[in-house]
Structure 1
Amino acid sequence: MTVRQSKILGGLLAAAVGDAMGAATEIRTTGMIKERFGGYVTDIVQPPEDTWAHWAKAGMVTDDFSVSYFSAEDILKNGGVVTEEVAAQAVIRWSEHPLYSQCAGPTTRAAIAKIRGIPLPPDKHDRLLCHNSRASNGAPMKVGCVGLFDAGDVDKAVDDALVMCRVTHDNTIALSGAAAIAAATARAMDSRVSYFEVIQAGLYGAAEGFKRAEKFARPVAGASVEKRICRAVEIGLRYQGDFEKAMTVISEEIGGGLPANEAVPAAFGYIAATAGDVMQTIHMAVNAGDDTDTVACMAGYIVGALCGVERIPARYLQMIEKMNDFELQKLALGIDALLK
């Protein structure tokens, strides 16, 4: 396996592992996680009955990685070219998967209905000028795969992230978050790149993504993704090496929930706190509480591409592929072939 193949597969696998591991801890606080599981969760375990993924078996992913996986397959079929048509096709195909009924959020459901031409009943929110609640992490959660296709090309990753995500999340904050994740993943695909350079690419992506999205996307009120990444990274660097302190302060000051301007900055904060270590980053995201599977999936794409698949326990590859009927290795080789 070449270095590039390892990085592509590492990004895919780490994102899937983060999602599957975080599925068990999602919605809980850190204290509740430790109480329920007897300590921090550092392996993939069965989600309990009182969480969103109660239907899942250990090793199964949720919408976070599955939407991205379907998107990557369709981008690959299109020769690596990201278009709105390809993005729409991917979410339609995903909507026919059993996971859809279990996982799809309201923003994605509304977008899919619109794509299908299904009229929606009048909603009390239709009259609102700004749909602030739709500035969610549903866009950045699925866009890490774009960074693999756009390896090393941060600006293209930003543009492709906007094209891919405006189909379902056509607002400035969600798109800024998506551009940050895609840009950082693209930079992580470079050889001999540091975790801090990857974070800088994420900051650039957040700023540029917002700037470019302002030209066409709906404005929403909310904190800057870029500035909150800066704050999260400051915290991560300050407490680097102190797992519990870094995780706790980032969780308390930045958050890690559904809003894109919480979840995306938190992911970068954990990367800074662990100096880009794959499993430490995933473990921190998984145990921080709130939308753990989404944050761990997004961060996983970045650190997995940064460090390569060798830094992830080998048993996870077989587990993820078997439990989800995925072909991560085949997908990774297909993406690599396009980059030659």
Structure 2
Amino acid sequence: MSLNTKIQGILGMAAIGDAMGAATENLSFEQIRTHFGQPVSEFKKPDKTAFALGNEAGQVTDDFSQIYFLSKAILENDGVIDKETVKKAILAWSNVPWYFDRFAGPTTRGAIKMYKDSKESEPAPLPGAVTVDYASKATNGSAMKIAPAGILNPNDLEGAIDAAIIVTQVTHDNSLAISGACAVSAAVSASLAPHATVDEALSAGFYGAIRGETKAKIVSREVAGPSVVERIKLAYSIADGHGTKEEKLRKLSQVVGSGLHISEAVPSAFGIIALNKENPLQAVIDAVNIGYDTDTIAAIVGSMVGAFVDLNNEKFASLYETVQKANDFDIVELANLLTNVVQESGGKGR
């Protein structure tokens, strides 16, 4: 597959996962199956159980909308990822009430408030290690929007990791959030290699989690909480264990977790992908049905495996068309622009 095809897949699958997961969010693994009668595999209009109540079927939430705004801002900056560009993107996103008022997570909301309240372009020096509220929360918002860092650094793990750190520090400046974001960014980067496999993307992602955690302890704040690296190992042990796939998915939801914390969402995504190496679209669907923060986990899974989806697959093509129309997004054009920037830079990020 071409680089453009792979980038389209990444963006498309992230958007599909977010929009489909919007209807199952906040329900448990069992509640999804009881509420809908079976696992969800199509876009549905969210009802009163979901934060996305008011969305139409196929509309995205904060997850893909932040990927979209971040990608646009990076393109306006000639493909260069720096903190000012990331800050510009997140502030522009926050000025859209449909997204910010309804979906902004606690860490992102705190960071945006700080930037809007501050007269300086950078936060004031911290009096203590973790006294700034936004910086100390290891939530999954760092990983949900990180795909552009990998896309702009195809087959360049160190570049993808460094770009992920830059993006993450604007809103989630701590060791765990950075580790999770670097894991996803590295997997995206590796997936863009000409003959990449899902196994190679997962291996790169695991390396990204380790490398991100190590680098973050130097450039950021170390915070307490479960290690993303160790929780990925736990997710793999479940995926490689005994039982049916459905039983393993249930165990992932119960043991690893699928909630707001980065050490649940990202490891859970790795476990889901490990169970679906031959079927990237099914990986996203399984993420939609894992329970709890389903839109975010499905967007993360979509980012990591999107390069492997067949754009001509009938089901994917239908979902892809619907999600673009429902949100008035031209993902094809966005992918074209990102591809051009990457190719102009010689296949490396800037």
The interval holding the TM-score normalised by the smaller chain is: over 0.9
- Quick one: distance in 2 between partners of 1:216 and 1:26? 34
Unaligned runs of 5+ in 2: 120-128, 344-350
Q: Which amino acid aligns with 2:328?
A: D
1:203 corresponds, among 206, 209, 212, to 206
**Alpha-carbon separation, structure 2, partners of 1:190 and 1:83:** 24
Q: What residue in structure 2 maps to residue 162 of structure 1?
A: 165
Which of 226, 230, 245 matches 2:229?
226
2:215 matched to which residue of 1? 212
Q: 1:83 to 1:129 in 2, by over 3 A?
A: closer
**In 2, Cα distance between the equivalents of 1:129 and 1:165?**
15
Q: Alpha-carbon deviations, 1:42-82, whole Å to 9, x = none? A: 11111112211112110100001111110011112212211
More displaced stretch, 246-255 vs 132-141: 132-141
What is the count of residue pairs matched by the alignment? Answer: 334
Q: Could you state the TM-score of these two structures normalised by the residue count of structure 2?
A: 0.90
| Residues 260/127 of structure 1: CA separation in 2 closer, same or farther (3 Å cut) | closer
2:16 is aligned with 1:14: no
What is the CA–CA distance in structure 2 between the aligned matches of 1:37 and 1:235, rounded to whole Å?
A: 26
Question: 2:29 touches 2:253 (CA, 8 Å); kept in 1?
Answer: no
Unaligned runs of at least 5 residues, structure 1: 120-125
Q: Which residue number corresponds to residue 261 of structure 1? A: 263
Cα RMSD (Å):
2.1
In structure 1, what is the Cα distance between the partners aligned to 2:253 and 2:283?
A: 14
The structural deviation recorded for 1:130 is 8.6
Query: Is residue 117 of structure 1 aligned with residue 120 of structure 2?
Result: no
Instruction: Show the counterpart of 2:153.
Output: 150
Over 3 Å counting, the alpha-carbon distance change for 1:308 and 1:8 in structure 2 is farther
Q: Partners of 2:181 and 2:172 in 1: how far apart?
A: 10
Report how far residue 145 of structure 1 moved.
2.1
Aligned match of 2:305: 303
TM-score, with structure 1 as normaliser: 0.93
When residues 262 and 114 of structure 1 are mapped into structure 2, their CA distance, relative to the original with a 3 A threshold, is same
Amino acid corresponding to residue 14 of structure 2 in structure 1: A
Aligned to 1:336: 339
Amino acid at match of 1:112: I
Secondary structure of 2:80 counterpart: coil
Q: What secondary structure does 1:310 align onto?
A: coil
- Counterparts of residues 175-194 of structure 1 (less than 5 Å): 175-194=178-197
The CA distance in 2 between the partners of 1:131 and 1:316, in whole Å, is 35
Between the aligned partners of 1:164 and 1:239, the Cα distance in structure 2 is 38
Q: Is the CA contact 1:18–1:300 (under 8 Å) kept in the aligned structure 2?
A: yes
